[in-house]
Amino acid sequence: MPHGHSHDHGRGCSHEATDVDNALEMGIEYSLYTKIDIENTECLNEETDGSGKTVFKPYEKRLDSSKFVQSDGDEELLFNVPFTGNIKLKGIIIRGSNDNTHPNRLKLFKNRPKMTFDDARGKADQEFELTRDCRGEVEYSPKVVTFSSVHHLSLYFPSNYGDDVTRIYYIGFRGEFTEAHFHGVTICNYESRANISDHKEKTFDGVGRAIQ
């Protein structure tokens, strides 16, 4: 279910400091964009090459409308997003325009690199119905059990509110990050046959009796 994040809380400008604090807190929580392997991130069906990567940015820049991704020819967009380690995904924000170019559905897939549109039309790990969010304040909550160890995330937007193209300004991720650990090959030498002289004089059989 989506959750709204409103920073004025209906209390007016006298609580501006509190609003700034809340924005800073959200900015910290939505910092997983720094853990994206942006060089290997891809967006299928983007009108302008490389524009899909620009929607992953700091929370405080989510209202910047100068950079966005727009679909080419129809309303579908598919993001393949690798991370530099493992994440536990707890929240997603999708900001679009307050018009019919805003996507109205999202399908999430975990750990399936290089997905195609044919792949994305299959069963997702989770789906969301999206509301129009032109301020980046609506959070969608993935199932933590499902998305607790994610090194690659695919986001498929199959449709919008009725326009020929889909436009997205910001995609934010909230959660926890764990560094990837790469273990080298350990080379061990094992004896092919035990050499009695290399061991203690006494050994024990299966029931603990000393063998002379």
Instruction: Identify the residue whose tokens are 């920073």.
Output: 7
Which class is 2-185 in CATH? mainly beta
Residue 48 corresponds to which amino acid? T
Which pLDDT score is estimated for 12? 40
Largest Cα–Cα separation, the chain:
90
Q: Is 54 helix (H, G, I), strand (E, B) or coil?
A: helix
Name the one residue in this structure whose structure tokens are 């995609």.
Answer: 171
Contact 89, 131 (CB under 8 A): no
Q: What dihedral angle (degrees, nearest 10) is formed by the CA atoms of 149, 62, 31, 50?
A: 70
174/188 Cα distance (integer angstroms):
42
DSSP string for 101-145: TSB-EEEEEES-TT--HHHHTS--SEEEEPPP-SSS-EEE---TT
Give the 3-state secondary structure of residue 96.
coil
Cα end-to-end distance, the chain, whole Å: 72
| pLDDT the model gives residue 155 | 98
In b/e form, how buried is each residue of 50-87, taking b as 16+ CB within 10 angstroms? eebbbbbbebeebeeeeebbbbeeebbbbbbbbbeebb
Q: Quick check: 108 and 86 in contact, CB under 8 A?
A: no
Q: State the DSSP code for 88.
A: E
Per-residue pLDDT of the chain (212 residues; tens, 9 = 90+): 565 444 333 334 333 445 666 777 888 899 999 999 999 999 999 999 999 999 999 999 999 999 999 999 999 999 999 999 999 999 999 999 999 999 999 999 999 999 999 999 999 999 999 999 999 999 999 999 999 999 999 999 999 999 999 999 999 999 999 998 755 444 444 344 445 444 444 444 444 444 44
